Chain A
Amino acid sequence: MSGYTAERKLFMGITEINDELITKAFETDKKLSFRRKFTRFAVRTTAAAAAAIVAVVGIGRLLAPENLLLAAAAQIPDKTVFETMDYEQRREIFDNADTACTDLNGFYRSTMRAFLSGTEENSIFSPVGVYNGLSIAAEISGGNTRAQIMRLLGASDIETLRSQTRDLWLSDYRTNYKAKQITANSLWLDEDITYNADTLDILAREHYASTFSGKMGTEQYDRALQGWLNGQTDGLLKEYADKVTMQPPEGFDIPVLEIASTVNFYGKWNNEFDRADTYSDIFHTPDGDVSCDFMHQKEMQGRYFWGQKFSGCVMSFKDNGAGIRFILPDEGYDTDDLLNDPEAMCFLADKFPDIEEKMPDDDSFGSKFVYIDLSVPKFDIAENADLKEGLKELGVTDMFDMEKADFTPLTDVPLVAASKISTASRVMIDEEGCKAVSYIEIGFSAGSAAPPDDHAELKLDRPFLFTIFTQRGQPLFTGVVRYPDTH
Chain B
Amino acid sequence: MEDEKIILLYKERSEDAISETDKKYGARCRATAYNILQSREDSEECANDTYLRLWNAIPPAEPSPLAAFIYRIVRNIALDRVKLLHRKRRAGENYTDVYSEISDCIPSGENVAKSVEDKELTALIDRFLDTLSREKRTMFLMRYWNFCTVADIAKRLGISESKVKVTLMRTREKLREYLVKEGVEV
Q: Which residue of B lies closest to A37 (CB)?
A: B158
B158 and A16 form a contact (CB under 8 A): no
Mask, A119-152, CB within 8 Å of B = 1, is: 0000000000000000000000000000000000
Q: Is the CB of B106 within 8 A of A6?
A: yes
| A 240-262 binary contact with B (CB < 8 Å = 1; else 0) | 00000000000000000000000
Q: How far is the CB of A426 from chain B (nearest CB, A)?
A: 28
Contact with B along A344-378 (1 / 0, CB 8 A): 00000000110000000000000011000000000
How near does chain B come to A333, taking the closest CB pair, in angstroms? 28
CB distance from B182 to the nearest CB of A (A): 12
Who on chain A is nearest to B28 by CB? A26
A residues 2-27 in Cβ contact with B at 8 Å: 3, 6-7, 9-27
- Binary per-residue interface labels of chain B (145-162) against chain A in the complex, 1 for a CB within 8 Å, 0 otherwise: 110000001001110000
Closest to A11 in B: B102
Residue of A whose beta carbon sits closest to that of B176: A10
Are A25 and B141 touching (Cβ within 8 A)? Answer: yes
Cβ-defined contact, A33 with B158, below 8 A: yes
Q: Once bound together, how far apart are the Cα atoms of A164 and B158, in whole Å?
A: 34
Q: Which of B2, B32, B71, B121 contacts A9 (CB 8 A)?
A: B121
Q: A1-B186, A3-B103, A17-B122 are in contact. Are A33 and B72 (CB under 8 A)?
A: no
A301 lies within 8 A of chain B by Cβ = yes
User: How many angstroms between the C-alpha atoms of A301 and B1 in the bound complex?
Assistant: 17
Contact of B185 among A1, A26, A29 (CB under 8 A): A1
> Are B186 and A9 interface neighbours, CB within 8 A?
yes
Name the A residues within 8 Å of B4 (CB-CB). Answer: 353
Cβ contact within 8 Å between A321 and B102: no
Instruction: Report B86 CB to chain A, min CB distance, Å.
Output: 11
Known: A19-B68, A23-B67, A353-B4. A14 touches B138 (CB 8 A): no
B residues less than 8 Å from A18 (CB atoms)? 126
Residues of B within 8 A of A10 (CB): 102, 105-106, 121, 186
Chain B min CB distance to A421 (Å): 35
Annotate B162-180 by CB proximity to A: 1 below 8 A, 0 otherwise. Answer: 0000000000000000000
In angstroms, Cα B141 to Cα A18, docked, is 12
B119 — nearest CB in chain A belongs to which residue? A16
Tell me, rounded to whole Å, the shortest Cβ–Cβ distance linking A370 to chain B: 9
- Other-chain residue from B9, B15, B145, B185 in contact with A25 (beta carbon distance below 8 A): B145
Q: Which of B1, B118, B138 contacts A28 (CB 8 A)?
A: B138
Within 8 A of A (CB), among B70-101: 71-72, 75-76, 99
Give CA–CA (A190, B22) in the complex, Å.
53
**Are B16 and A301 neighbours in the complex by a CB distance under 8 Å?**
yes
Is B102's CB under 8 angstroms from A24's CB? Answer: no
Give Cα distance in the complex from A10 to B68, angstroms: 19
Number of B residues whose C-beta is below 8 Å from A?
49
Select which of A17, A301, A321, A353 is within 8 A of B145 by beta carbon: A17
Q: Which residues of A contact B145 (CB under 8 A)?
A: 14-15, 17, 21-22, 25
Give the A interface residue count (CB, 8 A): 37
A20, chain B: closest CB distance, angstroms: 8
CA distance A12 to B135 in the complex (A): 23
Within 8 A of B (CB), among A298-332: 301, 321
- Which of these, A9, A22, A321, contacts B68 with CB under 8 Å? A22
Say if the beta carbon of B125 comes within 8 Å of chain A: yes
| Given A19-B65, A32-B138, A14 contacting B14 (CB threshold 8 A) | no
B138 touches A29 (CB 8 A): yes
Question: Which among B9, B32, B186 is the interface contact of A6 at CB below 8 angstroms?
Answer: B186
- Give complex CA distance A20, B134 in Å: 13
The answer to whether A36 and B141 touch across the interface, beta carbons within 8 angstroms, is no
A31 within 8 A of B: yes
Contact with B along A28-55 (1 / 0, CB 8 A): 1101110010000000000000000000
Q: Are A26 and B12 closer than 8 Å at their CB atoms?
A: no
B106–A13 contact, CB under 8 A? no
Say yes or no for B144: interface residue by CB 8 A criterion: yes
Cα of A225 to Cα of B125 in the assembled complex, Å: 62
> In the complex, A23→B142 CA distance in Å?
11
Across-interface contacts of B153 in A (CB, < 8 A):
29
Bound: A368/B14 CA distance, A: 10
B58 at interface (Cβ–Cβ under 8 A)?
no
A330 to B121, CA, bound (A): 62
Say yes or no: A321 contacts B1, CB within 8 Å.
Answer: yes
Collect the chain A residues with CB atoms within 8 Å of residue B5's CB: 352
A13 touches B118 (CB 8 A): yes
Distance in angstroms from A174 CB to nearest chain B CB is: 14
- Neighbouring B residues of A29 by C-beta, 8 Å: 138, 142, 153, 156-157
Residues of B close to A24: CB separation below 8 A: 137-138, 141
Per the bound structure, the CA–CA distance linking A1 and B109 in Å amounts to: 9
B2 / chain A contacts, CB cutoff of 8 Å: 94
Contacts of A11 in B (CB 8 A): 99, 102
| CB-CB contacts below 8 Å: B106-130 with A | 106, 115, 118-119, 121-122, 124-126, 129
Q: Are B118 and A9 in contact (CB under 8 A)?
A: yes
- A12 contact set on B, CB distance < 8 A: 118, 121-122
Give bound CA distance, A108 to B121, whole Å: 53
Interface-centre pick from A6, A94, A471 (highest chain B CB count, 10 A): A6
- B residues near A26, Cβ cutoff 8 Å: 28, 32, 67, 71, 146
Question: Sorted from nearest, which 4 A-B pairs have the closest CB atoms?
Answer: A25-B141, A19-B68, A13-B121, A369-B12
A-B contact pairs, 19 of them (CB 8 A): A7-B102, A11-B99, A11-B102, A12-B121, A13-B121, A13-B124, A14-B102, A15-B75, A17-B122, A21-B141, A22-B67, A22-B145, A26-B146, A28-B137, A29-B142, A29-B157, A31-B138, A32-B157, A352-B5
Mark B residues whose CB is within 8 Å of A. 1-2, 4-5, 9, 12-16, 28, 32, 65, 67-69, 71-72, 75-76, 99, 102-103, 105-106, 115, 118-119, 121-122, 124-126, 129, 134-135, 137-138, 141-142, 144-146, 153, 156-158, 185-186
